[in-house]
Amino acid sequence: MHDTLPILIDHWKADPHSTYNTWFLWEERLKNFRSIRRGIGQVVREIDAGTFGNAYRDSALETVVRSVAEQRQLFKGADHAFLWKPKLRIPDIYENAANQRAFARLLHSCDCCDTAEAVIEAIQRIDALQIKGLGPAVANLLYFIHPTLVMPFNTAMVRGYNAVTGGNVKLGRWDHYLSMREGAIRLNQAHRAQLSNDLGAVAGLLFDIGSGRYAAPPREDDAAALQAWEADLQKVREESAAAQKAWAAEKDNDTTHTQVQGWLRDLGHALGFKVWIAANDRSREYAGGRLSDGCLAEFPPTAGTGLDAVRLIDVVWIDPGSAKVAAAFEVEHSTSIYSGIVRMLDLALGTEIGEGSVLFLVAPDNRREDVRQQLQRPAFSRVSSLGIRYLPYGELQKNLEPMRRFGSGMKPLLEISQRL
């Protein structure tokens, strides 16, 4: 397409504050795919069973959409399209049962298929029904089912796409979305070596262009325009360098998260459990080695049927006798409490956890109220019934050494954690 676009992509990938570095390479991004996909499945099951209701608030759909909306800046505001607008009576999937079932068929069809043709066919079927207010924003859900087939969609991405390609894609229309998807795939293929098979990468690039962080490369052979554009790129680079302190603070959050995982790893070993570290955290540096040192290399086959559901839980303790899950820990240092509970729900619904096993949300002391409020949501009633507990950092750190030296079984953790 444009000889200058590879220059922009290189700048974008080198910029620590681009969506490439803050979202696409963010480890939590991959961690949330399965939970969001399972949440979508829960929406389908509730609609099919007639238990979804006629409101967005406190529904399974709100749970999964909010989880998407919390995937950093790229999806900020993704929930707006699903909020009920009473004056316009949109989106018309709450009061119209037939439309609600059609929405469920779209989600189910995409979840069950594995080809681009099947996804497009499902989209075309929903488009033919002309359901008021149910437009391409749904692609933000479908992306978490098929990241290599479906591209996310929002205003900034549309602006970026139009700026780069000279297109005229408009919001709110499925046919325009499908044309944008085709064009973005061609763009992605042309620069595949710099981008990714996951369409989230090219979506992030277009988002950063559309939101004004970068100017699109000049499409005309204009030396002056090219010089001005390169000057703008340099300015962004300088601004990024000046903002390194904020980025370093975010890295510190990751360090703290790893530290808490390390505490739980060592405590689990001291209390006689085998320990599993989240699959995407195993290679993290900790205590002069790797976080997974001394831990299970594979999950016990008898741990349950939903093996994939537990592989991304931050820390899991396995009873050495029964090989069942004795305890599971989600560490929520700075990420949303919401996403941690969704993963616990994923574990509860998809895994045969051991009798008497305990689920813990481990978070800073000042997040107690946030944990309590989220656990009270009706959408989380299933996981709340399992006795999920809040374990504050302060109590864990203060009692860590005594528990390691004198504790046994789960009793020490039950004493310092809280049922909310």
- Whether residue 245 is predicted with pLDDT greater than 70 in this model: the reply is no
Q: Model pTM greater than 0.85?
A: no
- Whether residue 6 is predicted with pLDDT greater than 60 in this model: the reply is yes
- Exposure of 172 in the CB half-sphere (CA atoms within 13 A): 7
Q: What is the DSSP letter of 21?
A: I
Whether a cis peptide bond, with omega within 30° of 0, leads into 16 is: no
- Whether residue 304 is predicted with pLDDT greater than 80 in this model: the reply is no
> Which of the residue ranges 7-11, 249-253, 268-272, 283-287 would you say has the lowest mean pLDDT?
249-253
**Tens digits of residue pLDDT in 157-175:** 999 998 998 888 889 899 9
| DSSP H helices in 72-138 | 97-112, 116-128
Name the average pLDDT for the chain.
84
Q: Let me know: does 143 contact 136? Beta carbons within 8 Å.
A: no
Structure tokens at 385: 């019934």
- Whether residue 129 is predicted with pLDDT greater than 60 in this model: the reply is yes
Q: How far is CA 169 from the centre of its chain?
A: 27
Hey, what's the torsion of the CAs at 185, 191, 196, 200, to 10 degrees?
-50
> Which of the residue ranges 254-258, 322-326, 405-409 would you say has the lowest mean pLDDT?
254-258
Q: What is the pLDDT of residue 252?
A: 47
Q: Among 13, 123, 117, 66, which residue's Cα sits nearest to residue 339?
A: 66
Cα of first residue to Cα of last residue in the chain, in angstroms, is: 56
Q: What is the pLDDT of residue 98?
A: 94
Please give the backbone phi and psi of residue 316, each rounded to the nearest 5 degrees, phi first. -130, 135
C-alpha span between 75 and 207 (Å, rounded): 10
Q: How far is CA 192 from the centre of its chain?
A: 23
Q: What is the pLDDT of residue 342?
A: 72
CA distance to 3, 4, 23, 159, 226, per residue, from 232 (Å) = 17, 13, 23, 18, 10
Q: How far is CA 107 from the centre of its chain?
A: 18
- Whether residue 253 is predicted with pLDDT greater than 60 in this model: the reply is no
Q: What is the pLDDT of residue 341?
A: 75
**Tens digits of residue pLDDT in 317-374:** 998 988 888 899 999 876 667 767 777 776 666 555 656 678 898 988 888 887 877 7
> Which of the residue ranges 48-52, 259-263, 305-309, 393-397 would you say has the lowest mean pLDDT?
305-309
C-alpha span between 193 and 5 (Å, rounded): 13
- Whether residue 247 is predicted with pLDDT greater than 90 in this model: the reply is no
Q: What is the pLDDT of residue 105?
A: 95
C-alpha span between 333 and 359 (Å, rounded): 17
> Which of the residue ranges 37-41, 144-148, 322-326 would you say has the lowest mean pLDDT?
322-326
Instruction: Please enumerate, as own/partner, the contacts of 57-63 that have beta carbons within 8 Å and a separation of 24 or more.
Output: 57/84, 58/377, 58/378, 58/379, 59/379, 60/379, 62/379, 63/39, 63/338, 63/342, 63/377, 63/379, 63/380
Q: What is the pLDDT of residue 355?
A: 62
C-alpha span between 119 and 111 (Å, rounded): 9
Structure tokens at 346: 């994923």
Which residues make Cβ contacts (< 8 Å) with residue 217, sequence separation at least 6?
2, 4, 5, 7, 8, 164, 226, 229
> Which of the residue ranges 266-280, 366-380, 398-412 would you say has the lowest mean pLDDT?
366-380
**Tens digits of residue pLDDT in 179-238:** 999 999 999 999 999 999 999 999 999 999 999 999 888 765 556 655 665 665 566 556
Angle at 169 between CA 167 and CA 170, to 5 degrees: 150
> Which of the residue ranges 76-90, 142-156, 297-311 would you say has the lowest mean pLDDT?
297-311
**Tens digits of residue pLDDT in 366-401:** 888 878 777 777 666 666 666 788 899 999 999 999
Element housing 292 (H / E): none
Report for 39-43, 263-267, 317-321: range of highest mean pLDDT: 263-267
Structure tokens at 113: 């298929």
Which residues make Cβ contacts (< 8 Å) with residue 178, sequence separation at least 6?
120, 123, 124
